[in-house]
């Protein structure tokens, strides 16, 4: 990394399909408002159980975005 400055945004993505899809949903939505997204870190993973089956996946992320110089 060079001498960049970053900020961190916390987001939560959800999906009926998978954890990976929940991550993609969070990043895709955040990228509509935030520019220069460079990295993410999964902080928490949860799910919703309905009738003994996984109904939803929920993933809490921290997204790092770079300030423009």
Q: Which residues pair with 6 in a beta bridge?
A: 66
Q: Longest Cα pair distance anywhere in the chain, in angstroms?
A: 52
42 contacts: CB under 8 Å, gap ≥ 6: 23, 59, 60, 61
Fold entry, domain 6-66: Dodecin subunit-like (3.30.1660)
64 or 3: whose pLDDT is higher?
64
Write out pLDDT tens, residues 23-61.
Answer: 999 999 999 999 999 999 999 999 999 999 999 999 999
pLDDT at 1 over 60: no
Domain ranges of the chain: 6-66
pLDDT of residue 69: 82
Is residue 51 packed enough to be buried (19+ CB in 10 Å), middle (13-18) or exposed (0-12)? exposed
Write out pLDDT tens, residues 5-21.
Answer: 999 999 999 999 999 99
d(CA 22, CA 30): 12
């Amino acid at each position: 990394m060079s001498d960049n400055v970053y900020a961190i945004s916390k987001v939560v993505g959800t999906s009926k399909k998978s954890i990976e899809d929940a991550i993609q949903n969070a990043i895709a939505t955040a990228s509509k408002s935030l520019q220069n997204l460079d990295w993410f870190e999964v902080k928490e993973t949860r799910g919703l159980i309905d009738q003994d089956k996984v109904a939803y996946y929920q993933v809490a992320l921290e997204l790092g975005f770079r300030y423009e110089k």
